[in-house]
Structure 1
Amino acid sequence: MKAITLNLELSDKIELSDIDLPEIGSNDVLVRVKAAALNHRDEWCRQGLYPNLRNGVVLGSDGAGIITEVGEEVDKSWIGMEVIINPAMNWGNDQRVQSKDFKILGMPENGTLAEYVKVPADRIHPKPSHLSWAESAALPLGGLTAYRAACVQGQVKKGDKVLVTGFGGGVAQFAVQFALAKGALVYVSSSKVEKIKKAKELGVKNGFNYTDDNWSDIALEETGGFDLIIDSAMGDTLDHLIKVIKPGGRIVYYGATKGNPKGFQARKVFWNQMQLIGSTMGSDLDFEQMLEMVKEKNIVPIIDDVFGLEESVKAFDRMKEGHQTGKIVVQIEK
């Protein structure tokens, strides 16, 4: 079968390879992948920024397709079903935090950027009927991460004023849509006018350009402050977030692309009863509840662009540029 594999010896760091079909175990299923989607972790693997990388691994965490084969202990009725894949593996029994064995499909184990992928049977869920293959492939990792950040850790509710930073990426777009579905008043930040315009088309109240030094002053004056902020940057932007969060508010962060903050306004945080909450991916229960919300509210992922399997370098380069609005999809089978 054809697959996109990591090869750090090449200039592109990835290549279209012919590899053997995976052999499934007794509790596995084999999925013929119709579409897969990229996440930042795929590009970070390509850049060699993850530990324990190995050449030859098939990248990709997001995928949707049709089950063609099941293990001997799996219900045969799954064969022929259209499914999406939960890429969060071995979360464990504690809903509060992942287990030490937690890992994500696509590294170190082979992922979805291939014509077929093997996954444990408990990772598959029926594909939402209102979504296309590309839209279904765009949902799993970003949708799960956003649902946990907004709805589980952030406890977003009707009437909350919510700020989602860095609108345009996969998780941020889902966080916006989930918060809107809960009845929140949602705002975004972005450095691109066109991304803020897209957010407003979804129902967002307004957007702020975070490259403006006084964006937090503008946001505070307009909104009076936020009940919940969902962020993936951290770094020195934390000062701005602390400035615009209401007393008793919650800042949930699921990444730290700008690193650790150099300064930290500890006194303001404890005096105003603020909560800084970390979040990553999500449990199996989170995934199930996320799917239910997507189906109930007819939520549709924003697709930035769709590439063919043979165009994967272009797809990865698009991710690297960081100009996308929505998810980048690789169409495996047309």
Structure 2
Amino acid sequence: MTTAVARRMRAAIPDPRTCEISLVETRVPTPGPGEVLVQVHAAAMNRADLLHQRGRYGQRAFADPQRPNIAGMEMAGRVVGVGPSVDELLVGDRVMAMCAGAYADYVAVPKEVLLPVPADTSWFEAAALPMGLLTEFEALVTLGGMNVGHRVLITGATSGVGLIGVQMAGALGAGAVLATSRSSESNPMLQNLGAHAVANSDGELKDLVGEAGVDIVVDHVGGRTVQACIPLLRRDSSIVSVGRLGGRTADIDLAALSSRRGRIIGTTWKSQGLPDLAETVAAIRERILPLVEARRITAVVGGSIRFDELPDGYRRLADQRRPGKIVVGFEH
């Protein structure tokens, strides 16, 4: 079943020769088995978009190589059609998802990755949630093994996903949530979101953590920050590497790591398959969505643009210093 849908749509596709973002017209996708067709109302921009723009982000978990290489990795919209084997009752539902091809009027999405949009959440807020919810839950809980009372450090906390991580750690019962940010101007906002304290340099971070140490580090920075976090670990603790904009390599003091029986765990969605993604989505539905519905975890929108402003949005994304995500609005 499909409601009335146009045959053509707008989409943003990177030019493989120039890496520039082109706004084109293309066919509306037909949902395949197990998929739904979503009319996109808003899509959020992520740093990974810059890698995809340059051909360096293969979205194995949710990309169909038979479809155009449309940019965008998370969106919110309304289900307007379903493919074979999918319940027609989904038509009309407000949904959000981390998916390939979000920068288009319509996107076909596996039903396993859909999350319902809470009743009091706007399209713009919803679009800025999926990537952060999935990334931070996997880092904190699945890989980091977070339990109530754990001391958690979120580095690069003003990134779009980092802001979700600060809130999620607190909502899941962390004994302390510590955060880092390059700018002290962001400290009040991070504290309002649940950070007990914020450090703006490696020296401040060492003093902030002190002898108490931390049980989990969710690192959104990479590079030398990884080594700076090793002396802060408690025994049997973990650093989960989810971002590497500060550097893809790091010099590690293996003796310091080993003396703490510490672990460094790396993860990225681009190398995971649909079953991995679907498993995390199912856990989010059960454990995290109630916290979103209760407004204990909210999206931080740092700015908004229209679809026709997307090329400029990429330039803004590359230079962004303001906390929160840039969200693309679609008019239908």
TM bucket normalised to smaller? 0.7 to 0.9
* One-letter amino acid of the structure 1 residue matched with residue 216 of structure 2: L
- Show the counterpart of 1:260: 249
* Superposition RMSD in Å: 2.4
Does the Cα contact within 8 Å between 1:27 and 1:73 map onto a contact in 2? yes
Instruction: Find the counterpart in structure 2 of residue 39 from structure 1.
Output: 46
Q: Does 1:148 align with 2:138?
A: yes
Post-superposition offset of 1:73 = 2.4
Pick the aligned partner of 1:7 from 15, 29, 47: 15
Q: Which residue of 2 aligns with 1:272?
A: 260
1:168 to 158, 166, 184: 158
Aligned to 1:101: none
- Give the distance between the partners of 1:238 and 1:294, measured in 2 at CA: 27
1:286 aligned onto 2:280 = yes
Q: Give how far 1:332 is off.
A: 1.4
Q: Per-residue displacement from partner, 1:280-303 (whole Å, max 9, x unpaired)? A: 345323222223444322221111
1:134 aligns to 2:97 (yes or no): no
8 Å contact 1:8–1:14 — kept in the other structure? no
- Assess if the C-alpha contact under 8 Å between 1:67 and 1:81 holds in 2: yes
**Which residue of structure 1 aligns with residue 236 of structure 2?**
248
User: Could you tell me the percent identity over the aligned residues?
Assistant: 29
Q: Which runs of 4+ in 1 moved over 4 A?
A: none
Give the match for residue 91 of structure 1: none
Q: Give, as a single letter, the amino acid of the residue that structure 2 aligns with 1:259.
A: R
Please, what TM-score do these two structures have when normalized by structure 1?
Answer: 0.84
Which of 216, 222, 225 is matched with 2:213 structurally?
225
Matched, 1:22 2:12: no
Tell me: CA distance 1:236–1:125, structure 2 relative to 1, closer, same or farther (3 Å). Answer: closer
Partner SS, residue 311 of structure 2: helix
> How far apart in 2 are the matches of 1:324 and 1:288?
32
Of the candidates 209, 212, 215, which is equivalent to residue 204 of structure 2? 215
For residues 227 and 255 of structure 1, the distance between their equivalents in structure 2, rounded to whole angstroms, comes to: 19
Report if aligned partners of 2:113, 2:277 keep a CA contact under 8 Å in 1. no
1:84 matches 2:75: no
Query: Is the 2:157–2:220 Cα contact (8 Å) retained in structure 1?
Result: no
User: Offset of 1:9 from its aligned partner?
Assistant: 4.3
The separation in 2 between residues aligned to 1:292 and 1:331, in whole angstroms, is 29
Counting matched residue pairs gives 307
What's the CA shift for 1:63?
0.9
> Unaligned regions of 5+ residues in structure 1, if any?
88-104
Q: Is the 8 A contact 1:64 1:83 kept in 2?
A: yes
Which runs of structure 2 are paired with 1:175-190 in the superposition (5 Å)? 175-184=165-174, 185-190=176-181
Query: TM-score, structure 2 length as denominator?
Result: 0.85
| Deviation of the 1:62 alpha carbon | 0.2
Q: Distance in 2 between matches of 1:123 and 1:114?
A: 18
**Residues 247 and 274, structure 1, Cα contact 8 Å, conserved in 2:** yes
Check if 1:125 corresponds to 2:115.
yes
Deviation at 1:80, TM superposition (A): 1.3
